[in-house]
């Protein structure tokens, strides 16, 4: 009987350690994210399963061009995935189908891809301007304004599903 309880206790210990480890990783290091919709096509498609790095932004600021997951500023229970176009202090102008970012020094940074709408916004401290890669079919900062840094969950690091498209996600030099 003693051998039974000893074996049972070992199994319980393994299960508890596993549960605590998964909890810590999922809540503090990385978490899965399922893409819903077409706003990030052709980079990410509906039902792509991604892994989000929640640690990097504790050590450095988000960078232009990075795909991020964040809480929708008007409803924190909703999560979005978009690409960072404008950084704190930038001025973002969307006009005549083009996006232009003026950095803090006033230098114009053209952004690739055509778009619709009109926006002219100066970003404050800890504000980021985000756009979907599928600009004509994206609900983004053009519609509801900048994303505060506090709402950013993390950086997209891996696409793990579908398996045939498994990859480490790279950030383009200029979005």
Q: What amino acid positions are annotated as catalytic residues?
A: 39, 82
Q: Are 48 and 156 in contact (CB under 8 A)?
A: no
Compute the Cα dihedral for 140, 141, 145, 147 and give only its sign: positive
CA distances from 25 to 21, 28, 52, 169 (A): 6, 6, 11, 20
Q: Is-contact 156 40, C-beta < 8 A?
A: no
d(CA 155, CA 169): 10
DSSP one-letter code for 55:
S
């Amino acid at each position: 009987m003693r051998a039974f309880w000893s074996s049972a206790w070992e199994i319980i210990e393994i299960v508890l350690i596993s549960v605590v480890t998964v909890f810590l990783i999922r809540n503090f290091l990385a978490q899965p994210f399922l893409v819903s919709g077409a706003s990030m096509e052709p980079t990410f498609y509906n039902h792509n399963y991604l892994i989000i790095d929640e640690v990097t932004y504790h050590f450095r600021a988000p960078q232009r061009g990075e795909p991020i997951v964040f809480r929708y500023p008007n409803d924190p229970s909703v999560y979005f995935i978009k690409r960072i176009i404008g950084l704190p202090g930038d001025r973002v102008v969307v006009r005549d189908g083009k996006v232009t970012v003026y950095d803090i020094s006033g230098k114009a940074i053209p952004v690739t891809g055509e778009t619709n709408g009109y926006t002219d916004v100066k970003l404050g401290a800890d504000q980021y301007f985000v756009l979907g890669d599928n600009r004509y079919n994206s609900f983004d900062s053009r519609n509801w304004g900048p994303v505060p840094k506090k709402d950013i969950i993390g950086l997209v690091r891996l696409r793990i599903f579908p398996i045939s498209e498994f990859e480490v996600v790279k950030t383009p030099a200029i979005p």
